[in-house]
Every structure is written in structure tokens, then in C-alpha cells.
Structure 1
Amino acid sequence: MEDIGFNLSDMAKLFKGDMERDMVEFRKKFSQLSSEGRKIAKTGKCFYCNEPVKKYCNSHSIPASFLKNISQEGKLSTSFGVIDLVLLDDEVGVNKAGTFLFICRDCDSKIFKDYESKENYDGKIKQKMLAQIAMKNYLKSTSKRYFELGLFESLGSDQGIDVSNINGTKNIDVLENIRGFKRAKKVDLKCIQEEYHLIFNETLDYVVPMAFQHQVALAVDLENMVVNNLYSGDKNYKIQMLHISVFPMEEKSVVMMFIDKKDTRYSSFTKQFRALSLDEQLMYINYIIFCYSEEYYLSPLIGEDVLSDENLQKVAGIVGMSPDDVFLQPVERLTKHYSLKRANEIPNLLQEKHKLKSE
């Protein structure tokens, strides 16, 4: 694979011995800072209904009923297992996979019903389902940014360093996520039609060994033309999101990709993508997930030969920066780290050959 810059996988290999030696101390310190960060991030109110809440619901970013279909003895493999980052857990239980504390139990039990019901995937995908997926994605992202703000504030206080610039950038992300959440909530409550455009929707007649539900900011399209300038310093520049879902069910899998109709910078990508064969479309979706996100969960039943694939590890570890990037123009940096032309160089877990076999 061509150079994609320094990544977490390289770092994990380079410092594996040091990390294993210091793992206990690191986890203890990280747990302490994380706990303090969560306290700072809590608002005391449900983010959906705005009512006071004493105990937040342990919400799943991906429905637990879908996660269970690829688990083994209640366990799932995480992105840290792919890049072999020994400091963080390479496995997690279904009950803790992708969870966040941001809304009350009553809201969690009601506002996602349409998209979490597997029966609704037997027919046409409704706008309410897409709106609820988008709403969950924005809630998860907002919760994560709140936690990161609290974590960095805690870290800055602990180490005596100024984190205002980092938190200033994250505050911009928070505002964008809140805007996306409010729009999705409105579409859901008012049953507004045609607000989200479904780029891809396919039901596969086999169970894929992956579960995913999140949003990504695509940097370049299939021809390496810029979609989102991730390195823009303009505070008024709006990042546009691409929502992707991979839902493994008992005997099939549903794979979807959609955008907000207002996000017109995806027009060229949409045309390029729809012109591809199904195999090619699945290949690119698979690559985008590993390249842009760490929010995927894999079945422990996947072969070690897949998880140890060097190209997959490099792509999963992309951080979008490397020391020599200072000599590159922003567009060159985007292409270097995020070009989709490498999609055929990693295992495609959405292919039938990687399916989970029924017992």
C-alpha cells in the first residue's frame, strides 16, 4: 500500500513494548481522567426532552439487538483490536458497545422505535427511520464531544497545560452536531418527507461480521475531488456528513448510506457511486468505515488472518496527519490520507465470503 502517513497502527507496533509495560498505570490514569471528564460533561438534563434526569440511560449507538447477532459469548471485537493498540480494550461486551449517557430512559425507549424494529426493514425505508438514525448519530457525536471537552479540561488541569485551542475547535463541532440533531428531530416529529436522500440501500442475504452506525465527513470523492476540506480554518465552513449503517440481523444484513438533502457537496460522489456495481459499492462502503471511523464492531469469529492484515491495520489507524504534511497543500493532504482508490487493498467484510455461518 502506498504511503498514507504515520498512523496509530505504526505507533502501536513501534511502542508496543513500552505500552505493555505501562499499561496498568496508563489505564488507571485514563480511567481517572475519563471519570472527571464525564462529570464535567454532564448537564443534568436529558438532551432530547430537556427534563432533569438523575440517571441517564445507557443508550446504544447501534441497536443492541443487531450487535448480538455477531457477538460470541456476548463479546465483540473493537477497532483497537484491529490496530493492536494494547492500551485500550480489543473486546467489549454487547451491553457496553458504543454506549453513551445523554438522554433519559423514557426518551431512549420511544424515539428510536421505527429504525430499531427489524420488521421495518422488510419494506420501504421511511424518512422517519433515516431521521431517527441521523438523530442517534448526532446525539452520539455530541455526547462524545462533550466528554472530550471535559476530558481535555481535566487533562489540562492535571498537567497544567492550556487546552483552549483544542476545546475551541471541539466547541465548533458541538454546535454543528446540535444543529444536525435538531433538524433530524424535526423531520422525525413532523414526518417531513424527502429531507434525507438514500444513496444506497441493500439487503444482503447473509450475515456480515460487522455492525456500524455513524456519520463520517467524506474528504474526497472517487475521483479525489474535495467533498469536505477537513483542514479548513474557516469557522463558517460547514462540514457535511454522510450517514452509514450496517445492520446484521439473524439471517440477513441491511446496508444503507444517506445524506441530508441540503448537503449538496455530495452530488458528484453520489453520481459516481451509483454508477458502480454492487460489489464495488460494498467495497467502498467497507473502506470508508475503516478509514474514517473507529465506531465499528466486529465479530470475534472473524479469522485472525483478516484482523492481522497489514493494509487493514494501516487504514484503520489513519489519523489524517504526519510530520511531512507541513510541505503539502490541504488538497494534497486530503488525497494522501483519504483517497478511496486504495479501497480494493483491504479485506471487504461486506462480501459474502466473510459471512458468519449459521450454527
Structure 2
Amino acid sequence: MKITKEQIDYCMECGVCTGSCPISRVIPSFSPRQMIKRALMDRDETVVQSRELWACLTCARCSTRCPVQIDFPEFARGLRERARGEGNLPQLSHHGTLQAISALQTRKVKQNRTEWAEAAGKFAAQGDTFLFVGCAPFFDAAVKYGDTSLDPARSVLRLLNRMGIEPVISNDERCCGHDALWSGDEDTFLKLMGMNLEVIKGSGAKRVLFSCPEGYATFKYQAPKYFGDLPFEVLHATEFFAKEIPGSGLQFKPVENGDGVVTYQDPCRLGRKAGIYEPPRDLVKLVPGVKLEEMGLNRENAACCGTSAWMECSNCSKTLQIERLQEALETGAKTLITACPKCRIHLTCAQSNTDIKMDIADLYTFVLNRVE
């Protein structure tokens, strides 16, 4: 990423990024501005060889507040490619299981990605709407907290079926490459994305729905940079459902017994990256009797769930996650809802080591369970 002289001059006199950064608050020595300064003064060397480079969550809280619009996550991503080449690697979570699964998908492997869908609803091999499932079928191989990680995909499929839509779901789909890209492994990302584009084109789909914010952001913003304009529309499921459900004829059962107070966790890739704040909230509000209480840090100021790309899960991550759970608890909500499978996994994991009593729910499952 290139930074102009004007941006550099302003950056060195500022500090908004460091004051905004959740990592800087827990680890005082971490500073996005100082990393930029060191990269400029030392021609990247000390930053490329540092552990700090991997601590960044790439949550974009700094860049959304930057007065001169420096995209620090992209700055860090570029340096991570160099770091990987020089042997400075991230600390992988869950023994690197998810990274290994992602790498395997760059090969011609036979997958069984649709077994869950056969039991959940109706889908097709060809059609206008492609449901991109992502890595959810593999999450349970490495992590298991609460319900299965396939719940969001099942709920999206069932909601689509209730609306008369049988989406395409393919055994040949691959990981979107998000984690590989943000951990400096651009080659793996390019292979995965290239294979996915061929599969989607071959299905005849005119639009692709994503329940995962990371998959959505990767196709929406990263894929066109490398592959040019895509021949299909990219939609997040919350956008689609918030627009289409009100006129679909679906009716909702009211929430009773005082369980209607909920709060919502904005995923970084869906919120700050894509600017999608209201559609998830609109979906929650479709359910009669629900009262949405906002956490103090919400929308563009929302706190990250504390971990990114299945790496660098640390005491710092747990501190951020527990603070977020406490903030959710303070709203008086009995349920914390999120539209991101990783947010749900990370916050549920952190909750398991606390006395905090709160349901951490998938948005699509929450909505589906209240459809008449």
C-alpha cells in the first residue's frame, strides 16, 4: 500500500489510530502510528520482523477514524506478505487445523459440502441464487462451542425455502481465502478465489448470498482487485432478508415471558468494512416483542470480538472478549445476537470461562425460530 507524503506528514503529528485501537488499550506498546513511522524510517525491516505485526486485528477501527484515510489494515496486510517470506509467521490457533483445511482446498479434492443441506432443506445444482456456505462445514472439526457452526447456513437455507427459493449449494465450493489473505498468504487466496469464481460461473448464478461477513467482504472488495468486475451480484444475507422478508408473507411469533430484550454485536467486516449496520437490526425488529438495546460501543464504534483469521488468540483476545460480554450484559439483554459465525465462536469460547449468563445467538437462527 502506498502512503502519500501529505498522509505521512499528518500521520506523524496525529495519534487518533492508537487512541482508537483496542489492542493499544490492552498492550500499551502497540501503536499503529509508530508501526508506520518505523516502517518509513527503517524501510520496513523492524516491523516486518516484529511480533506486533501479527497482533493487529485488522478491525479497521483506526482507519475509519483516520483524518487522512490511511488504510492501516491494508498496510499491515502488505507487510505480512513480506514477513511470511522472511520466516516471521503468525501463531496459529487450534493447532493450525483451519489453515490446513484451507490449503487442502486449493487442490483437486473431493468434498462432501452438501450433506448437511440435504437434511436441512431444498437446494439446486443450477440457478439464479448461489448460497456461499464458506468454511462452516469445517469449523466443528477444530472448534466446538455450543451448537454446531452449521446452524447459520441451515437457517439461511430454511428461510430461503420458506420464501420459495431453492439456492445453489455446491460440493465444489472452496474457502473464500479471507484468512489466507489477511495472514499474508496471497498465493493461497488467489488459488481459492479462482476456483470459487469458476464454480459460481458454472452454476449460472446471477447473485451470490453470504451469511458470513468475511466471505462477503472478500468477494465484494478483494476479489475485484485481483480478478476484475464479477459477473454476478454479491449480497450479504442480512441485506437480502431485510429487503425481501417484509413482503414475503412470512409471519413471526411474538417473544414472551420477558425474554425479548436483546443486543447486537456488529462484526468488523460487515460493519466498518461494508457499512452494513441497519439490515441486521431491521431483521431483529421483525420479531414482535423484541426490544433491541444497544451496547455503548455499536455500529462504526463497535468493539471487535478479539481474534482474526484463526491466529494470535491470546490473553489480550480474552480480555477484549470478556469486556465485550460485560458490555452486552450491562444492557440488560438476555441474548447477544451476531451475524458472524466467528464472533459467535470467539465470544462463546470466552464466556465458557466466566460466570456470565447470556445466550449468544446466530441472527438467522434467531429469526427462523420465530417464524410461524
> By percentage of residues, which structure has more strand?
1
Bin the TM-score by the shorter chain: under 0.3
TM-score by length of 2: 0.27
Q: Which has the higher contact order (CA 8 A, sep 6+)?
A: 1
